[in-house]
Amino acid sequence: MLIKLTGTSTHSADPSDDPMGLLLACHGRIRQHLDLAQRLVDVAEPSAQDVSDSCSSLVRYFGRALPLHIRDEDELLIDMLRGRSIPPSLTEALSVMCAEHAVIDPAIESAIQLWRRLRDEPLLLSNLRDELMPQTLLVSTLLRAHLDREEREVFPAVSLLLSDEERKELTQRMRQRRQAMG
């Protein structure tokens, strides 16, 4: 493959009991896969096997693990805060977070369609590169800014509001969701 990935599927294997630790570990894996997507368009003449393997990982990660991460944030995180008084800055940050998810989703979907074609027909890379380059740039720019913003404006503020009990409950709910997905 074009880049070495570690712990590529979901974040259920993370030993941490802290939900923010789980979310941050996911961010690490998202960034790793964005690096892989960039390598795919940067490497001059990758082998067909490399292209196929890399696209297979990208389709699997962005098609399955990323949506779970986004649902953790859109549903579990927000559910945990429901009904309590939170600072206006956090209310604003959460609404930006959800709005960004809605923008990221179709951009990722378009990239997945290209990666899926290349996974199955890796020799098409030279034909598809002109389409893949701007799509990779779009996905990468949107996601990297989004992850940075969550780490700066959402996770620390949410963390301050949760009790130890709530932290454990959130972690448990995230893990249960992954187990239910198989």
Residues in the chain: 182
Q: Which of 2/93 has CB closer to Fe ion?
A: 93
| CB 121 to Fe ion: min, Å | 32
| CB 27 to Fe ion: min, Å | 6
Check residue 72 for interaction with Fe ion (CB under 5 A).
no
Residue reference for tokens 């990935």: 5
Q: Which of 51/94 has CB closer to Fe ion?
A: 94
Q: How far apart are CA 35 and CA 50, in angstroms?
A: 14
Q: How many binding residues for Fe ion (CB under 5 A)?
A: 2
Residue 172's closest CA among 62, 36, 16, 64?
16
Q: Which of 14/73 has CB closer to Fe ion?
A: 73
Residue 10's closest CA among 86, 74, 61, 63?
61
Q: Which two tokens stand for residue 40?
A: 């795919």
Range 49-52, long-range pairs (CB < 8 A, 24+ positions): 49/122, 50/1, 50/2, 50/122, 51/118, 51/122, 51/125, 52/118, 52/119, 52/120, 52/122
CB 62, CB 143: distance < 8 Å: no
Among residues 37, 54, 73, 135, which is the contact residue for Fe ion, using CB under 5 A?
73
- The span of 9-17, 114-122, 129-137, 148-156 binding Fe ion (CB under 5 A) equals 148-156
CB 114, CB 135: distance < 8 Å: yes
Among residues 19, 37, 65, 150, which is the contact residue for Fe ion, using CB under 5 A?
150
- The span of 67-75, 84-92, 108-116, 125-133 binding Fe ion (CB under 5 A) equals 67-75
**What is the x/- site pattern for Fe ion, positions 88-127, by CB under 5 A?**
----------------------------------------
- The span of 52-60, 111-119, 145-153, 164-172 binding Fe ion (CB under 5 A) equals 145-153
Using CB under 5 A as the criterion, which residues of the chain lie in contact with Fe ion when the complex forms?
Answer: 73, 150
